[in-house]
Amino acid sequence: MSTSLPSVRREAVTVLGGRLTVEVQIAGAGAPLVYLHQAGGFGWDPLLWHLTERYTVYVPEFPGTSPDDPHAIRQIADWSDLVLAYQEMIGQLGLQRPVLVGASFGGMLAADLAAHFPELPGRVVLLAPLGLWLDDAPVVNWNAVAPDKLPALLFHNLSSDLVKTVLQLPTDPEQMRARMVAQIWAYGCSGKFVWPFPEHGLRRRLHRITVPVLLVWGRQDRIVDVQYAKEFAAVVSDCTVAVLAECGHLIQLDQPQLTMATLDNFLA
Amino acid sequence: MRITLFEQAPYRYLPADFEERFDSVCDTPYALVDPRRMYESMRSFLDELMVGARSGFDALLVTEHGQSAYDVTPNPDIVAGALAYATELEGLNVGIMPLGRTLGKTHEPVRVAEEYAQLDVMSGGRLIAGFPIGLGYDVTINNGVPPIEARGRYEENLDLVLRAWSDPAPFPWNGRYSRYPQVNIWPRPLQPRPPLWVTGIGNPRTMQMTLDRDFGFNYFGFSGAKLTGRRIFPRFWELVERAGLPANPYRVGFLQTIAVADTDTEADRRYAEHAEYAFRKGLGSIPGHLLGIPGGIDIQGLRAVFADPGDVGMSRQMRGASYRELVEAGAVIAGSPETVAEQLFAFCREHRIGNLHAMLGFGSLPTELVRENIQLFAEAVAPRLRQLWSDTDHAHHWWPERLGGSPVTTTAAPATTSDNHNERTVA
């Protein structure tokens, strides 16, 4: 990781006929890369900083998670609305065949964007994506889990410095409350599309993805079991699968170096 | 003052160490149940409500809870139907008040409109209809509704139910959450519009909604009304004042767990164990995170709750609460008829409560003791409370005409319920 981090700028993109404005964080230089974040909100992490060295990284904040517009989520009626909003947003940003990277919930969205609009991405990277359902290995609904039990479901390396930093709450009571409120609300906003299940018929559309796909999974994923990797790989025609050892669900936080190397290798 | 009998239908025979062995009372394995004891629990619940009907209570109240051991009433309208007919047969002029069908979770709002309409006809116009929004886990885990949609679904379903009752012509309903090519229910309610009540936990938005739509507002004192009453009721009356409405005490219902015996000492001896069962294996065993599933509380509400969590009272200590703690918090009012009447009178007068919902069966309390509690309350406590508010000229607009009320007959259009939280802002 570079010692001085690049500056982040913001751009507001209006979509859905003016109903919704998406706040996009942008950093780095180079070819475009769009990163769709996980259900609990967005924060820059070592993988993303690493990607800014070669790419201009665009991170749309999930509707409702931008601090100034928490009710933006109310403008999205259903999953189809959401997919269309993201496609419009990428178009409005003028990005040509960006690399599309999605983690967890963002992976489900990235996969469905690529399935709906096969010409949109240049390549796709899915980090433990949701979107499929196996009765024998039900995806854990993190929204219904006691908060104190959630870290052990999301991470394998709970004692790593990065994971500890991510989980650390501010000590100032007011900041701590603000952080908890923002986190709960972020889960509530993405939760609009995870009840009753984070599954919106993706299996019936996955065959439409024609660009190369990298699928990365943690072997110790306790939210969506690693056996889901096979389900994706069986349907996606050009799919490279990397299963990381000693790694849980939030892959790039649990195994940042391995994740970087895996992505570098695929994107080279 | 109106005095009603409230009961839930707990399975009364959960093991003593339930709290140690099980995480929650919302996903309890049914293997714990002895079917004969389930029958007995259910039969006792119904029998006790009928004891209340014969003892002069103004209404019988039940709640809806799916997939839960502490109130085995997945559809309160089934219970209300049994009570409606049984009380018709016995000529008992008592209100039938499901508190009631949860509109935030239901996927069948027309069915709800039909059930209530049928109850009103069966009871000869004695229905008092409750429309709660719903508990987090019940809306989401039991019914698959995204928590962030519960409020919007509630509001749309409520509009649909009220129109289904009142629109003389068949109409199509192309809603965001439900779509019906034709709505033309049979029967319609006997009353021009049954009195409507909403249960709230302190959210000013819910309180305001009851004022905008001219509904009654119910508050349940489970989490300790001595801790929460001075927060909730002044908040409500301030909104009433701000809306320029009269401070009519009949707008407000208050639910209180009550345990009466001949003496204070006897009440403690008789009820302590069963009150602990009720709260530890009831509300205390609903984990907080299942009530506060992300998305169910709007971000403004989250900020308010995190800044000042006082509305939850002693809920978070409920799982290990002792009888003494329950009494001190006001979750239970217990004692001789004098003690109980004095406390209830003072509380209801202070907070302008015009409807007292007395919860007189609770937890594992054996049916003989429930009956004695009901009868002693009816004979020795209720008469001391009834006169409250009779010296005012307020009319009871939230009560059926057949039961002496002068109900609101028009369906008031919601004045201020549309705001930027409203799911229906989606075109």
**CB-CB under 8 Å, B296 with A143:** no
Give A103→chain B minimum CA distance, Å. 20
| Domain parsing of chain B, residue ranges | 2-425
Q: Which residues contact B130 (CB under 8 A, 6 or more apart)?
A: B97, B98, B99, B100, B101, B196, B197, B198, B199, B218
Q: Is A67 on the interface with B (CB under 8 A)?
A: no
Q: Which of B144, B303, B420 sits opposite A196 (nearest CB)?
A: B144
pLDDT tens digits for B177-230? Answer: 999 999 999 999 999 999 999 999 999 999 999 999 999 999 999 999 999 999
Q: How far apart are CA B302 and CA B304, in angstroms?
A: 5
A220-234, B339-353, B401-415: lowest mean pLDDT where? Answer: B401-415
* Mean pLDDT score, A195-220: 98
pLDDT tens digits for A234-251? Answer: 999 999 999 999 999 999
Inform me whether the pLDDT recorded for B274 exceeds 50: yes
Compute the mean pLDDT over every residue in chain B, rounded to the nearest whole number.
94
Q: How far apart are CA B383 and CA B341, in angstroms?
A: 9
Q: Which of B297, B303, B425 sits opposite A74 (nearest CB)?
A: B425
> Which chain B residues have a beta carbon less than 8 Å from that of A189?
148, 295
> Which chain A residues have a beta carbon less than 8 Å from that of B427?
19, 77
pLDDT at B424: 36
pLDDT at B409: 66
* Mean pLDDT score, A115-119: 98
Nearest to B326 by CA among B373, B284, B360, B291: B284
Q: How far apart are CA B294 and CA B272, in angstroms?
A: 35
* Mean pLDDT score, A33-54: 98
| Domain parsing of chain A, residue ranges | 8-267
* Eight-class DSSP state of A159: T
pLDDT at A4: 82
pLDDT at B316: 87
**CB-CB under 8 Å, A189 with B296:** no
pLDDT tens digits for B126-140? Answer: 999 999 999 999 999
The answer to whether B35 and B28 have CB atoms below 8 angstroms apart is no
Which residue bears the tokens 């499929």? A132
**CB-CB under 8 Å, A191 with B147:** yes
pLDDT at B137: 94
A99, exposed or middle or buried, with CB in 10 Å at 0-12, 13-18, 19+?
buried
Inform me whether the pLDDT recorded for B426 exceeds 80: no
Percent of chain B with pLDDT over 70: 96
* Eight-class DSSP state of B130: E
Compute the mean pLDDT over every residue in chain A, rounded to the nearest whole number.
97
CATH homologous superfamily, domain A8-267? Alpha/Beta hydrolase fold, catalytic domain (3.40.50.1820)
Inform me whether the pLDDT recorded for B32 exceeds 50: yes
pLDDT tens digits for A128-138? Answer: 999 999 999 99
Is CATH 3.30.300.30 the classification given to domain B2-425?
no
Q: Is A5 on the interface with B (CB under 8 A)?
A: no
Q: Give the torsion sign (CA, A50, A55, A60, A66).
A: positive
* Mean pLDDT score, A204-212: 97
**Residue A21 main-chain phi, psi, to 5 deg:** -115, 125
Partners of residue B358 on adjacent β-strands = B5, B256
**CB-CB under 8 Å, A144 with B140:** yes
Q: In angstroms, how far is CA A118 from the centroid of its own chain?
A: 19
pLDDT tens digits for A50-74? Answer: 999 999 999 999 999 999 999 999 9
Structure tokens that stand for B32 in this block: 């714990």
Give B108→chain A minimum CA distance, Å. 17
Mutate to test the interface with A, among B143, B145, B148 (most CBs of A within 10 A): B148
pLDDT at B420: 36
B139, exposed or middle or buried, with CB in 10 Å at 0-12, 13-18, 19+?
buried
Q: Is B294 on the interface with A (CB under 8 A)?
A: yes
pLDDT bin (cut points 50, 70, 90) of residue B34 is very high
pLDDT at A70: 97
Q: How far apart are CA A190 and CA A198, in angstroms?
A: 10
Percent of chain B with pLDDT over 90: 94
pLDDT tens digits for B305-341? Answer: 999 999 999 988 999 999 999 999 999 999 999 999 9
pLDDT at A129: 98
DSSP secondary structure string for all residues of B278-324: HHHTTGGGS-HHHHS-TTSS-HHHHHHHHH-GGGGTTGGGGGG--HH
pLDDT at B423: 37
The answer to whether A71 and B420 have CB atoms below 8 angstroms apart is yes
Q: How far apart are CA B427 and CA B424, in angstroms?
A: 7
